Structure 1
Amino acid sequence: MKKRVILGMSGGVDSSVAALLLKEAGYEVIGLFMKNWDEKDEDGVCTATIDSEDARQVADQLEIPFYTINFEKEYWDRVFTYFLDEYKKGRTPNPDVMCNQEIKFNAFLDYALKLDADYIAMGHYAQVEKRDGKSYLIRGNDNNKDQSYFLSRIDQSALSKTLFPIGHLEKKQVRELAEKHNLTTASKKDSTGICFIGERDFDEFLDKYLLTKEGDIIDIEGNKIGKHSGLIHYTLGQRKGIGIGGVGTGEPWFVAGKDLKKNILYVAQGEKNPALYSTSLIGETPKWILGTAPSMPLKCTAKFRYRQGDIPVTVNILEDGNLYIKYDYPVKAVTPGQVAVLYQDEVCLGGCIIKSIEPLEQKYLYLNTI
């Protein structure tokens, strides 16, 4: 009897090829489109409707059943509310990580199991390996597309039921397979940005949901050098869009910190300014892929944002359960609200939410009073 797989189909080429490979491997495949957000873009077009139709066309080509499930309420309650709350705290959240934790590998999984699924599958660039009765999350083979960072808060029960059919492939191979089989999504461009914002203006979107208030921009020497449009519009290490070019030495300015109570945006000039660097962080709500923490102290590597290279670190667990992560060398623009993801070679161990950072120089502690 064939194993039943419920595949999350997004209408993109990755999940389309995942469907193809699962069918070729002999699974009973059912495509399921998740409708998580209901809003039209600036042209009055609902992109979810277009994506759903693209997914349906691929399912028809492959002759697999296809359905749509509405998770808008779950997404609003578990992901979007979290997203807004983090910005209110002055932090910079990663909703894609939370979407995987709360929707794709939680609500979606629960729904699939009610349909007697043996597995769920997604078109992510990541891999699962079974070792000694445990499921390990492994980086995708394509270093430029590896998505294990976004999957770092999935628990063992979900991962043990998950397949990543394209995780062993590179993106160009996925495109080639789609073209070879004439899938309608073969040349569809990859989606960019956060799913509920897409390619719209990010600042305009935030202004729609959160109150903003202008305030002073102050450099690390204490000089007032401009006005900001609301602290929610800025993140640590940001260079573009600050609006203070031509001041000082002529070097670029970077966001160095925020004071939420005083509504101050702190900036520092120069790529190598020590005010932009930290030496360690405190991480809250740690999640371990295997369900339990490794033995401590843990020597491993970490990524503090998706496109960052691996950084050697030492991890310890504090009395309150938070993680203390010490970097081997100072790192620029580590940002509260983002996710610190830990790796042992190719294995993703899990991750935590960055709560606070320790600056390279103690005199800059005041920069991050959020």
Structure 2
Amino acid sequence: MSTARTIVGMSGGVDSSVAALRLRDSGESIAGLFMQNWADDGTGECRAEDDRRDAVAVCGRLGIPIHFRDFSSEYWAGVFEHFLAEYAAGRTPNPDVLCNREIKFKHFLDAARELGAERIATGHYARVVHEGGRSHLLRGRDRGKDQSYFLHQLGQAQLAATVFPLGDLPKPEVRRIAAEAGLPTAAKKDSTGICFIGERDFREFLSTYLPARPGRIRTPDGRDIGGHAGVFYFTLGQREGLNIGGVRGFEAAPWYVVGKDVASNVLYVDQGHDTLWLQSRTLRSGTAHWIADTPPARRFQCTAQTRYRQPDQACEVHVGDDGCLAVQFQEAQRAVTPGQSVVFYDGDDCLGGAVIDSTDAPLEQRLQNHAA
């Protein structure tokens, strides 16, 4: 049993290191906890062991105890199986959103409480404000690093028991603080992508779980211009990995994924970053999650992001009787992708969000009508 009031999620990176340092220096009673979320799949690419060593070293430097928990089975059931099912269906899921909801702010929070702590802290770039008995999730002050997009599935109980010590800091300041304190993670490169994939080629990783299913690449008007290894390896707006050379009758310009027909195993592409085939003005979502437990109104205006780090997009949200959403944007949006999250904001206040089900992009509409 720990006597610490706050348990800090130690990832082995500079952000969680400085989060722990700031709490310790404020006089808070803290301990660290390292979570293993992915079991070694035999490829040896996941950096879990290096991260574990770094987390131990940082806690040693700070003079705080560290605990260890293995959540890999919970991660598999709560995050990874959904991840695979979505890709197999031709959608593009966001495992970071699910990982935060299912692991970091559920199993980690439970583990911290079992250790006798009252709350948890992480190195996320976000802020929590408590007003009038309610908790608000706010963007981090460093808009370039703000991670509220990935945290929009958190609820009142989770936010009431969470601290984000880096919410008011820009990233360069975090690295400066780490260097001044002599933390071994001060210059460590930020992890990118999905933890369980590591530095591997994404298609190669996915193919071990979703075997290649070769099919054809076509233009929206039906011209066959090549082959692909599997539609689920691609996402809307993607340019890399298409391996389309010079095509007779087309200019030498980049090709972009504009649609996927999983049933027919056809990948649709077009030229031009802003091709009309990638544009949509409305989307429909699954049941929304609201941080305040309820939506601001049945119909309201706000801003939204349909992907991480996207500038605010003005929109109107209509909440259906079933909790699902219809969202109308003021301006056309590029490559809004089913399976990803749409997240809503009122200024810096994150209202909540939902998983995108469909859009009115022209090719998606055509494929839906054909399927019907």
Q: TM-score, normalised by structure 1?
A: 0.95
- String of CA shifts for 1:93-127, please: whole Å, max 9, x gaps: 00011000100001111111122211100000000
Matches within 5 A, 1:1-370: 4-39=5-40, 44=44, 47-247=47-247, 248-359=250-361, 361=362, 365-367=365-367
Distance 1:271 1:45 in 2: 33
Q: What is the root-mean-square deviation of aligned Cα atoms in Å?
A: 1.6
SS in 2 for 1:185: coil
Shift of 1:46: 5.3
Q: Is the CA contact (8 Å cut-off) linking 1:10 and 1:55 kept in structure 2? A: yes
Shift of 1:41: 7.8
Distance 1:72 1:26 in 2: 33
Distance 2:351 2:209 in 1: 35
- String of CA shifts for 1:186-230, please: whole Å, max 9, x gaps: 111111110100111100000001122111111011111111110
SS in 2 for 1:26: coil
Distance 1:40 1:265 in 2: 30
Shift of 1:3: 6.8
SS in 1 for 2:167: coil
SS in 1 for 2:73: helix
Shift of 1:260: 1.1
Shift of 1:251: 2.4
Distance 1:102 1:18 in 2: 22
Q: Is the CA contact (8 Å cut-off) linking 1:212 and 1:232 kept in structure 2? A: no
Distance 1:364 1:292 in 2: 31
Distance verdict in 2 for CA 1:258–1:338, change over 3 Å: same
- For structure 2, list consecutive stretches of 5 or more residues without a partner in the other structure: none
Distance verdict in 2 for CA 1:201–1:46, change over 3 Å: closer
- String of CA shifts for 1:53-80, please: whole Å, max 9, x gaps: 1011110111101011000110000000
SS in 1 for 2:297: coil
Q: TM-score, normalised by structure 2?
A: 0.95
Q: Is the CA contact (8 Å cut-off) linking 2:46 and 2:197 kept in structure 1? A: no
Shift of 1:50: 1.1
Q: Is the CA contact (8 Å cut-off) linking 2:287 and 2:322 kept in structure 1? A: no
Q: Is the CA contact (8 Å cut-off) linking 2:45 and 2:200 kept in structure 1? A: no
Distance 1:14 1:271 in 2: 34
- String of CA shifts for 1:285-330, please: whole Å, max 9, x gaps: 3111111111131111111110311111100012332111111111
Distance 2:315 2:42 in 1: 42
Distance 2:364 2:81 in 1: 31
- String of CA shifts for 1:255-305, please: whole Å, max 9, x gaps: 111111111111122223211111111111311111111113111111111
Q: Is the CA contact (8 Å cut-off) linking 1:101 and 1:153 kept in structure 2? A: yes
Distance 2:367 2:71 in 1: 39
| Stretches of 4+ aligned residues off by more than 6 angstroms | none
Q: Is the CA contact (8 Å cut-off) linking 1:214 and 1:229 kept in structure 2? A: yes
Shift of 1:17: 0.5
Code of the aligned partner of 2:266? I
